[in-house]
Structure 1
Amino acid sequence: MRASLLRCTSLLLVAVTLAACGNKDDKAAADAAASSALPVSLAPVQQQTMARTVLVSGPVTAYEEMQLGVEISGQRVTALPVDVGQWVKKGQVLLQLDHRTLDSELAQADASLKQAQAAQELARLNFQRSEKLAAQKLISESSLDELRANRINAEAQTATARASRDAAQLRRDFADLRAPADGLISKRLVQPGQVVQAGTELLRLIRDGRLEWRAELPEDQLTGVAVGNTVELPYADAVVTGRIRAVTPGVDAQTRTGTIFADLPEPGTLKPGVYVEGRIVIGEGPALTVPTAAIVQRDGHSYVFTVNDKQQAARLRVRTGQAVQGRTAILEGLKKGDRVVVEGAGFLGEGDRVRVVADAKATAK
């Protein structure tokens, strides 16, 4: 009996000892798991008013770029006083052709006109005298008619000479290529001494130096854009602001896109041909937002991480909108009140153990 009691007591002590050891092992394992969990901070999905925008890329171009040439052929360029990048005024001489032959033709036309005018004046005086004589019956009616015809013929010859003189003056004027408007010389395709032909492009002029931004939008985005919408073009550490001047009334049957044209009254350092991404502001509205730091880009898609009841990271794919003042709009994938990982999100994977240490500060405005 005594021996049985001693055996029971010994077995009880062993069981207690084993239980104590087991509790210590579980605690150590739990501590180890907690220490290996990545510390993260959470932030709630918030709703706030944001500007609704459309992002699209397009080139900066001249609003109106004039291709300038001369209207006479076979003449040599004798002067070219302008160069690319130079601002010119309307009427300023941009190019001169050899005009010696044209000057000679103009002088000859001037002389012919003066000769015709002198003949016209003589015919007029003769007719005036004949009218007085005819009134006194000193000359016949046929003589008066002949003098009248001479006067009319002299007037016609004067008109012909004046037209020839005007044509010679016009050809002489064509030897000087003048700026049709104020603007900026954007291209020069000729050199002094070169013999040029009529209709050949020699210079290009950006009218008033005015630039615009053009972009192609798909039909689903084009419907939300209207004349007067603001356009923001980030470029060279600055933002150039423009305003939509025109929107094509239809879309291309093949590409299913339409074109918008935005005036750039102060283009800054933008140059024609620069390709930039623009933000078209089409209004304001409520939007679900999260801190931009919570967005993780992987495999060409946007993701956020949440924390489940088992303190494990769960990855969710989202569709994002614009980012403003440190917050990004969420178009799909989350709802108001959800909490997403902010600090530490970039180091997480699906199912990773996490330890929530703090709530991220809200930055919604």
Structure 2
Amino acid sequence: MSSLMSLSSQRGLVVCAAVFFLTTLVACSESPAPQEPLRSVKLLTVSAGALGFEGLYAAEVRARVESRLGFRVGGKLVQRPAEIGQRVASGQLLAVLDAQDFVLSAQAAQAQVTAAQSQRDLAAADFKRYEALRSQNFISGAELERREVGLKSAEAALNQAKAHAQAQSNQVGYARLTASHAGVVTAIEAEVGQVVSAGQVLVRLAHDGPRDAVFSVSESAMGDMQVGQALQATVLSTGQTVQGTVREMAASADPVTRTYLVKLALSKGEALPLGATLNVRAASLAGRGGAQAWAIKLPTSALRQEGQGTAVWVFDEASMTVNSQTVELGPVDGNEVVITSGLQPGQHVVSAGVHVLSPGQKVMVYKADAKARGLSPAIANAATSGPLAAPAAAPVPAAALVPASPR
């Protein structure tokens, strides 16, 4: 009897252990991954639109002529009366070098002139005596010619000494830097006590007189501007309107910004302060050569960063999925960016919520979008009419977009 009870208890223990083991396996098994939600997206159809070149360009008022002044000799700067913003007259003193060495050199050169003058006077008197002796046939003609050559040599030495003395005297004058024209000092690039070299720029002087508005334009706008074209500008601080004429256009693009510098000659702009900001309104430009320019443009909300480039989500109607497509960016046109390559007209691109999608992800099309884009009836019937499953991401600023390859 006791053996039967012992056997029964052993069986019970085995059953309990098996139940515990199965329960543990069930508890430790991985739960199925939650299914990714089917997101609803808004689409836009890629198409070529007209480029609008009309707009405002921020310009800066500059003097038409600006001199970069420096000493013609090197030395230690001992005085600098000029200050930034100071209005100076023509010939006004701007800076002074230590001229002690130049003065000593000038004195030495003057002493050489005195010595050369003495040698020339002695040679002249000697030639005069020998000339009298030759007239009395006491000396030969060859001897007189030697005295004449000695006189000419002494005169040449005297002229050389005088020229050297004048050059050294000029060096003393070069130690004083004066304003070449009346104007305004716009920059100071040396301080008292500094040793400067010959030709080093110390003072920048904006000449009084005509003023220019200087601004940069893109290559597309550059093609429709021409010298002599009339433009209108507005002073940002006062609202004053001034007229101008395109005076100069850069022959090549800036290597960094890839824009072209334009100088607008301002009519009656002499009273405008240097450095003032103007808004130059360009006339309505049709496009290069007078023909309307067309390009693919997308809003910044459709663009996203991918590595070192920029990409968009292209919608595949057959599989109802989105795929990443790298694009190259062109200039900004208003609130849109020109796409130079990577897309073809007729493709459908996701215009909102681009930062919550992944390659190959299945999506639903917003119902109003499906009908507007002319998608197949099956897709339009299956499209959602409610709010988007994911909020739209904030638009990417145009300045933050990085082209996929340098332009």
TM over 0.5: yes
1:270: which partner in 2?
Answer: 273
Please say if 1:232 is aligned against 2:241: no
1:124: which partner in 2?
Answer: 124
1:93: which partner in 2?
Answer: 93
Q: How far off its partner does 1:164 sit?
A: 1.6
Structure 2 Cα separation of the partners of residues 237 and 201 of structure 1: 34
Measured at CA, do residues 185 and 153 of structure 1 come closer, stay the same or move farther in structure 2, by a change above 3 Å?
A: same
- Secondary structure at 2:119 match in 1: helix
Q: How far off its partner does 1:142 sit?
A: 3.0
Q: Which moved further from structure 2: 212-221 or 104-113? A: 212-221
Q: How far off its partner does 1:186 sit?
A: 0.7
- Indicate if the aligned counterparts of 1:244 and 1:260 stay in contact, CA closer than 8 A: no
Q: Which moved further from structure 2: 98-107 or 82-91? A: 82-91
Post-superposition CA distance 1:7-60 (Å, at most 9, x none): xxxxxxxxxxxxxxxxxxxxxxxxxxxxxxxxxxxxxxxxxxxxx975322333
CA RMSD of aligned residues (A): 3.3
Structure 2 Cα separation of the partners of residues 137 and 63 of structure 1: 75
Measured at CA, do residues 125 and 208 of structure 1 come closer, stay the same or move farther in structure 2, by a change above 3 Å?
A: farther
- Indicate if the aligned counterparts of 1:225 and 1:282 stay in contact, CA closer than 8 A: no
2:205: which partner in 1?
Answer: 205
Structure 2 Cα separation of the partners of residues 127 and 196 of structure 1: 50
1:215: which partner in 2?
Answer: 215
Q: How far off its partner does 1:256 sit?
A: 7.4
Q: How far off its partner does 1:103 sit?
A: 1.2
2:180: which partner in 1?
Answer: 180
1:136: which partner in 2?
Answer: 136
Give 1 or 2: higher strand fraction: 1
Please say if 1:106 is aligned against 2:106: yes
Measured at CA, do residues 249 and 147 of structure 1 come closer, stay the same or move farther in structure 2, by a change above 3 Å?
A: same
2:156 aligned partner, one-letter code? A
2:167 aligned partner, one-letter code? A
Identical amino acids, percent of aligned pairs: 24
Q: Which moved further from structure 2: 153-162 or 115-124? A: 115-124
Structure 1 Cα separation of the partners of residues 254 and 66 of structure 2: 28
1:63 aligned partner, one-letter code? R
- Indicate if the aligned counterparts of 1:88 and 1:182 stay in contact, CA closer than 8 A: yes
- Indicate if the aligned counterparts of 1:219 and 1:258 stay in contact, CA closer than 8 A: yes
Q: How far off its partner does 1:104 sit?
A: 1.8
Structure 2 Cα separation of the partners of residues 241 and 253 of structure 1: 27
Q: How does 1:15-164 map to 2 (within 5 A)?
A: 55-73=56-74, 75-164=75-164
- Secondary structure at 2:228 match in 1: coil
Structure 1 Cα separation of the partners of residues 82 and 219 of structure 2: 44
- Secondary structure at 1:238 match in 2: coil
Gaps of 5+ in 1: 1-51, 284-298, 301-318, 321-365
- Indicate if the aligned counterparts of 1:229 and 1:282 stay in contact, CA closer than 8 A: no
1:276 aligned partner, one-letter code? L
Report the number of matched residues. Answer: 234
1:232 aligned partner, one-letter code? A
Q: How far off its partner does 1:173 sit?
A: 1.8
Measured at CA, do residues 185 and 137 of structure 1 come closer, stay the same or move farther in structure 2, by a change above 3 Å?
A: same
- Indicate if the aligned counterparts of 2:233 and 2:278 stay in contact, CA closer than 8 A: no
Q: How far off its partner does 1:157 sit?
A: 1.0
Q: How far off its partner does 1:132 sit?
A: 3.0
Pairing partner for 2:263 from 261, 264, 281: 261
Measured at CA, do residues 245 and 139 of structure 1 come closer, stay the same or move farther in structure 2, by a change above 3 Å?
A: farther
- Indicate if the aligned counterparts of 1:242 and 1:262 stay in contact, CA closer than 8 A: no
- Secondary structure at 1:199 match in 2: coil
Structure 2 Cα separation of the partners of residues 251 and 164 of structure 1: 46
Q: How far off its partner does 1:126 sit?
A: 2.5
Q: How far off its partner does 1:224 sit?
A: 5.0
Measured at CA, do residues 239 and 53 of structure 1 come closer, stay the same or move farther in structure 2, by a change above 3 Å?
A: farther
Q: How does 1:302-313 map to 2 (within 5 A)?
A: none
2:264 aligned partner, one-letter code? A
Pairing partner for 2:281 from 279, 282, 302: 279
Q: How far off its partner does 1:226 sit?
A: 4.2
- Secondary structure at 1:133 match in 2: helix
- Indicate if the aligned counterparts of 2:62 and 2:211 stay in contact, CA closer than 8 A: yes
Structure scoring higher RCO (CA < 8 A, sep ≥ 6) equals 1
Measured at CA, do residues 98 and 218 of structure 1 come closer, stay the same or move farther in structure 2, by a change above 3 Å?
A: closer
Measured at CA, do residues 128 and 278 of structure 1 come closer, stay the same or move farther in structure 2, by a change above 3 Å?
A: same
2:138 aligned partner, one-letter code? L
Structure 1 Cα separation of the partners of residues 102 and 248 of structure 2: 48
TM-score of the pair, normalised by structure 1: 0.55
- Secondary structure at 2:240 match in 1: strand
Post-superposition CA distance 1:302-329 (Å, at most 9, x none): xxxxxxxxxxxxxxxxx99xxxxxxxxx
- Indicate if the aligned counterparts of 1:240 and 1:268 stay in contact, CA closer than 8 A: no
- Secondary structure at 2:78 match in 1: strand
Post-superposition CA distance 1:89-139 (Å, at most 9, x none): 333221111112211221221121122123213322322332232122122
Structure 2 Cα separation of the partners of residues 280 and 103 of structure 1: 58
Measured at CA, do residues 249 and 209 of structure 1 come closer, stay the same or move farther in structure 2, by a change above 3 Å?
A: closer
Structure 2 Cα separation of the partners of residues 253 and 218 of structure 1: 10
Q: How far off its partner does 1:83 sit?
A: 1.4
Structure 2 Cα separation of the partners of residues 256 and 103 of structure 1: 52
Post-superposition CA distance 1:217-275 (Å, at most 9, x none): 34554425541514322322231524224242766498775432112342545332x44
Q: How far off its partner does 1:168 sit?
A: 0.8
Gaps of 5+ in 2: 1-52, 286-299, 302-332, 335-407
- Indicate if the aligned counterparts of 1:54 and 1:221 stay in contact, CA closer than 8 A: no
